[in-house]
Amino acid sequence: MLEVTPFGEGWVLEYEGRELPAAVPGCVHTDLLAAGVIPDPFLGRNETGAAWVGRREWTYTTELSAANGQERTDLVFDGLDTAAEITLDGRLLGRTRNMHRSYRFPVTGSAGRLAVRFASAYSEAEAVRDRLGERPAAYAEPYQYLRKMACSFGWDWGPTLVTAGIWRPVRLEHWSTARISRVRPLVTVHQGAGVVELRVEVERSDAAARLIVEARVGGQVARTRLTGSAGAVRLRVPDVRLWWPRGYGEQPLYDVELTLSSEEVPLDVWRRRVGFRTVELDRRPDAHGTGFTLVVNGERLFARGVNWIPDDVFPSRVTRERYRERLGQAAAANVDLVRVWGGGIYESEDFYDACDDLGLLVWQDFPFACAAYPEEQPLRGEVEAEARENVVRLMPHPSLVLWNGNNENLWGFRDWDWERRLAGESWGEGYYLGLLPRVVAELDPTRPYTAGSPWSGSWDRHPNDPAHGTHHSWEVWNREDYAAYRSEVPRFVAEFGWQAPPAYATLRRALPAEELAPDSPGMLHHQKADDGNGKLERGLARHFAVPAGDFDRWHYLTQVNQARAVAAGIEHWRAHWPVCAGTVVWQLNDCWPVTSWAAVDGDGREKPLYHELKRLYADRLLTLHVRSGKLVLAAVNQSADAWSGSVTLRRMTVDGQVLGGASMALEVAARAVTDLVVPPELRPDGPKEFLVADAWGGLRALHFPVPDREIPYVRPEFDVAMAPGAVTVTARTLVRDLLLQADRLDPAARADRGLVTLLPGERVTIGVTGWRTPDPSAARRALYCMEPDPMDRTEPA
């Protein structure tokens, strides 16, 4: 039987004539950090001082003894980052140049000094660029010339920390006669039965051996004899339970086991979990353009999505528990789709296992982002090899529902002056429209493929045409106010977002000695977007009186503005289902402490946006918006049950007077939207008035006809009471966008809700965990809300 020996212990990193202890999996930066050679690059401006690490060669060594009673021994690396030479006592085992692949080297009977020498990723990438010619990109770093995590080279939310190292596990595999080299599971549903077809490939040491494969799933068993080195076994599971996205049903998973034997002696075994479901991508043309609607088990979905970037710039530090925590945060925010963005990696099995369990659909980009990628060798062969390996590796996961060729490269070719600059040179089109769809069609025909995001489906249209396919909405934030979201209804919004700084405690940890200001040195260093602070300031000024010299107030308002911006988009687009069939917020997470578009910051703390997503992505949503000159209440019902009830409307003034009201019947079919026109006499008129719409279950929508800077807010007055694990606020006036910043109470503290608006006499109880020394005065100081002008927070209401 195949034996596996983990091989992560005993490695050292050579540095300046010393041997530093090395963690495998790991990388050079984390080893240098552990040894005290470099300070934490996440703190202050230490990132700059670590730039030298990516510019030199590094060597890992250990002692290898491959002695074992079996016929063969293989040394298997699940991931090497990136350009490496592997030697055993000076004998070359092989060279690698792709972070996204695994590698296997025969070492039967060998012993001696094993060395893995990594070239500088810069040197390797620059050598390829010199051979193939320069290609345009969104950033100056040479990430498109090397099959490596692009955001290692920095991004508009990430540090430039160019890694090297043995970043995924290493093992020795000992085997005799034959081993399973690849299993490709095709999982489908036919007439209520689950069908699993396992395409098996083996490697033999005995060409004459009689090999049998036996498969088991759902109580069913099938056997077949292998002729040569490949074969297939098919099983049918009657009355199968379907796997559903979260919110649509349960996520049953079935254990699949495939055993390779010779003369009834087991040689190797392959085990995975699968889920039975169907997935389609409806891209049919209609009266509105060309659709982009995911259909799972025949159910058409509005995708409630978030974009995912690597959760750490050093991915080897992301544990199974950390994946579970972060993806659990997504699920708790009513997210049902996670897009694995193309400037990162194919994530580990732990990521996809968690998505399988949580019912999170996965949209998987191939790793190409924001650059023209050469199609010549050596890159073309590496791209095909990595695509083939990872398509097969990820096939068992029912959560994976879509393969996407690239991020923004088709758009870049058309709009970012690439076509002129390339002058006919290759740039990746052959990958996205040729190689990758062929690989997916050959290996994984059970899932759809799309050439890119954004992509309108044809060069006859603009790649980012909102009426066709996927759309990225970046005029908002970069140039326009978020009110512009309401000017169009894209078919599927795959990227949009607004920045805000991280939680206060995250900033304090990252910038421990700094007097915080929007433009203080550390804050500027942890703002990577082009003119990021300028865009934050302009975005604030459209809605608020920008506080001068009051960092705490600025911090609160920028976080409110982020939540308001994303809400403006999602409310509008959900109200136009089924024309719009999904929103994917940029972004869920961060890879370090930074001002960014994330809902969960680099220390794992939730911003107000995170809690707002819970409301925006709930099955039922109320939203008020102006359409064709009329004020309309849209009732969005994404649940499987019809929604019957009533909605109460109140026209009010900011000082608490009720000017009028009405009750309207509400009837919304399952998976549908109903629009109700607000009676003209209830439409708020002028800066002092607003409209409140309330429905059963705590659903509420608010409509203020002017920006906050024009609203004559009264001074907020409220009472604060405390109980174990809870802070209760009772409003005596209008209290708009009340926020308890729990991390100001204790870095470990968390609140269970974000922004909430209270009318006079209303109360809210905020659950708080992790607060070690509760103090009513501290709770009051940590409460923020809209005020008539910037005020001294030392004497709150």
d(CA 73, CA 205): 11
Single pTM value for the model: 0.96
C-alpha triplet 45, 49, 53: angle, nearest 5°: 135
Q: Tell me, which fold does domain 3-173 have in CATH? A: Jelly Rolls (2.60.120)
To 10 degrees, what angle do helices 532-541 and 551-574 make?
80
Q: Where are the domains of the chain?
A: 3-173, 177-274, 282-616, 620-710, 718-784
- Say which of 375, 382, 408, 689 is annotated catalytic: 408
Q: What is the CATH architecture assignment of 177-274?
A: Sandwich (2.60)
* Cβ-based neighbours of 397, under 8 Å, separated by 6 or more: 275, 352, 353, 355, 356, 362
* Cβ-based neighbours of 52, under 8 Å, separated by 6 or more: none
Residues of the chain with pLDDT under 50: 791-797
Decide: residue 239, CB within 10 A, 0-12 exposed, 13-18 middle, 19+ buried.
exposed
CATH class of 620-710: mainly beta
- 177-274 shares the fold of 3-173: no
Our answer to whether residue 263 is catalytic in this structure is: no
561-572 pLDDT per residue, tens: 999 999 999 999
Rg (CA), the chain: 28
CATH number of 282-616: 3.20.20.80
Q: Are strands 337-340 and 361-365 parallel, antiparallel or unpaired?
A: parallel
d(CA 666, CA 768): 35
Closest to 12 measured CA to CA, from 41, 45, 40, 34: 34
d(CA 404, CA 452): 6
Instruction: Give the model's pLDDT for residue 583.
Output: 98
Q: Which two tokens stand for residue 238?
A: 């009657």
455 DSSP 8-state letter: B
Instruction: Give the model's pLDDT for residue 796.
Output: 39
Q: Which two tokens stand for residue 372?
A: 């023209």
Closest to 584 measured CA to CA, from 323, 340, 311, 313: 340
Instruction: Give the model's pLDDT for residue 7.
Output: 97
Instruction: Give the model's pLDDT for residue 790.
Output: 52
Query: Residues of 515-551 as b/e, b for ≥16 C-beta within 10 angstroms?
Result: ebebeeebbebbbbbeebbebbeebbeebbbbbeebb
Instruction: Give the model's pLDDT for residue 67.
Output: 87
d(CA 31, CA 28): 5
Q: Which helix (H) or strand (E) holds 414?
A: helix 409-415
Residues forming beta bridges with residue 667, ordered by sequence position: 644
* Separation of CA 778 from chain center: 35
